[in-house]
Chains A and B, each alone.
Chain A
């Protein structure tokens, strides 16, 4: 892979001749275009993942009920849906692919592919990434990986049906599921996607270390950059472990080796250790950037410095460190040694602490603030509220004893959706709406945004909160028909209720889709700094030109100097020089509203 580390000398120089359409929008090396390419791709996958969730829910709401045929089922081949009844083979594929697509092709690229690309150079004051061509290669590796993953639905035998966790032997020997080609495509796609993530991670890490603008010290970096930087390190170190495991599994399932197949000496649990050694850092890959975005939005929405910036940074770093030592808590009931289970319980309990610190710091940021509930702020605050639920439900399953009962039940399903939907996805919606004006120069409609927000918050909770009850009742994950179990039959009303809520939840997302597209053309022009925020991206035009800044910005203070006594305004951008160093004139050249009011003191750094 030595050839991937190509160097483009003088990344900064903005091109003055107009590049062709292909070079500008398709095979672009501009980090902003690449981020937007990831945005469109992963939003489409988010939609596909949502539709797959509805397949699952339809079956669970009205299990194999001929009077409730699956809508649109007749358009699918009879090997998937027969006379309106979802077949168990297709159900298992839908379960597998909903998880796979949401985690690897929607949430992860939305958080990292979109925002690490878009935000890191802009927020550290760099003209582009350290390796723009590598960056382009990263997208153009992820895209074919996505196509291969989608292709799996169209091959004979259907798509992979071994669950997104792909536990062998079920995944390693195609005879156990009857899925041959689909399983191979799943593995190949994931291996390719790993290369994409790796190229991205090398780029983000190098860029943050080496390309910060003058004055952008480590502790003046926005928390979003910190979170993305630490996330990139997690990706860098975790993804190759998954890639190694995937390669071994591919050899098992298509070449006839037996790394994970016991009959010829392999170890099924080896996969679980490798998978979760990757998989738990992956959980933090899926939440840390969201925490970073929420920190940005809450500080700017509260017009108040983030409370405890150093603690927030330390909490991110602590999570990243501890995250390597907790993978076994996914395996409490797997048959591993019970002392090992107790050890993993201890580390797991401890890792709850940094998440609690972050929650309290967000709340303390809002305390005595001046809260502006624009649409991104609503999402950020909802993130905090929902993440608290996801965190607290995690305490139940962190207890090895309680986990004996709750493991592999809908309680875990509820837990992960409160973290990944209530947490990550709310943060993603907030972040898209917050940085949309920077990306496209126009604001998304606040009216539609509020309708979408309230409907999503409502139906999200109606969908996922009752799943806690299903789990407490012992309903297993990934079962095709719970009504076959007498003890689960009383829950069927809840299952139907959840399905109806889930359908409404997906329909509510169409409002977002409409708002997103409509606002591209009709949204209110935003200007450079619609949220009156401090970080560097808001000093660039919206959208920023190739090369981002007219001149390299110089940073004088941290990103959260809101309501500073040094300024008459309630914000003080990072690049506005203290008054005694600068000649007069408006502090932020792009923002005519900001008057004078800088103090003669150098702005305070982060205290503590």
Chain B
């Protein structure tokens, strides 16, 4: 279990505390555990990057926090936001939490904006649904301020969504997400459909907001470069679980899980001189391997990996709570009752 160290005085008490989160989908072949026992903390104003490849469960995790899941999905475990348990809340309460405390930003901004409504109407509706005492004029003003903060001219508040480019729409979505002052933003691939320059602009904006508004950011992405540039900590997901979590500098400098190593090596960057990739494919989550889920693809596997399911254990130097990996190459990853062969 990983916890960010709390500085003296406890001002950095996690704003989001997730424990043993599980999300399972029913399939014709049986139950599929898309998220299988994930725990993480997010401090106020901190940004945590959640990386993994398609199908690893990272998006399901983001949606699972607010139980925004397709019918039939079963959610278990604990999600505490500012000390309040979200698992088990009814839909109405969750809707309130969603705008006021934990905001979501998705990949496709156009599908979240109503094409028939002016941008101002989106702001007025969002604000007044939560704060009925605010009149339309005030809400319009709040919208203009929110747009300005996102670099969108206030003159454009009465335009319709189609009059904006893709990057502007994503800025508008972020402005809408932030207008009620949430303490956490969950952004799921917020820049994936955007060009590289616009992506960098949006990431700069998110970074600035995090400092100015002290908003915690859970950034879900497949792009390790984005994590390296914007996050304080990184959690690497594989087959429904976190396999490594720790400070970005340390994990990128000296990854402790072979999957993290493989992922980092497969990134094609400006400095790449040799191409590298990971053989094989992720396991079937209806019937995952008995031992380590990465073992079938792992170049470093040994006998125990096929039979013992590793837990997240402390790795690296320093505070035992800051950096963990679930790999049997580290003694700390053996479940307590198992003994290293």
A in complex with B: no
